[in-house]
Amino acid sequence: MRISDLVAQYIINMLEENNGGAEIRRNELAETIGCVPSQINYVITSRFTPEQGYIVESRRGGGGYIKITRISMDKRSAILHIISSVGDSIDAKSAQGLITELLQRNIVTVQTAKLLTAAVTDRPYQSIPQEYRDIVRAGILKSLLLNIE
């Protein structure tokens, strides 16, 4: 498992243990996991974004911290929020990240996540010119998400 995955899982566990909120001291977390503090920053900025359902606040200085809060939404609101964050195009990796988030939040089942993943991987788009693939993928993903019950 990569360091970034370990950091993300550690933060997710903290959020689950603390009812969706966690206060992190970057240097202490880096020391605990055995990485450099910049890796903590990378994980937070790439995996704990508003589009993924998180609010991140930071305070600098000697007693500084990073506070992460999971936004609480019902299933329909979460899906609509994700649809709006997709935009006009999305690459396969970003789409997979959104699907993983839906699965982790129990918004979709494992079976639905597998079907969504099959629809966003690069294989079905090989016959489409490269410059249009992400646009088509976004349209298909949004359409599928709108039909999740």
CATH number for the domain spanning 16: value is 3.30.56.130
Q: In whole angstroms, what is the distance from residue 36 CA to residue 31 CA?
A: 8
Of 38, 70, 102, the domain-final residue: 70
Domain count, the chain: 2
Whether residue 6 contacts residue 33, with contact meaning beta carbons closer than 8 Å, is answered with yes
Per-residue pLDDT of the chain (149 residues; tens, 9 = 90+): 688 888 989 999 999 899 889 998 888 888 898 888 888 888 988 888 877 778 898 877 665 688 999 887 788 888 888 888 888 999 999 899 889 888 888 889 999 999 999 999 999 999 999 999 999 999 999 999 999 87
Residues 91 and 28 occupy one common structural domain:
no
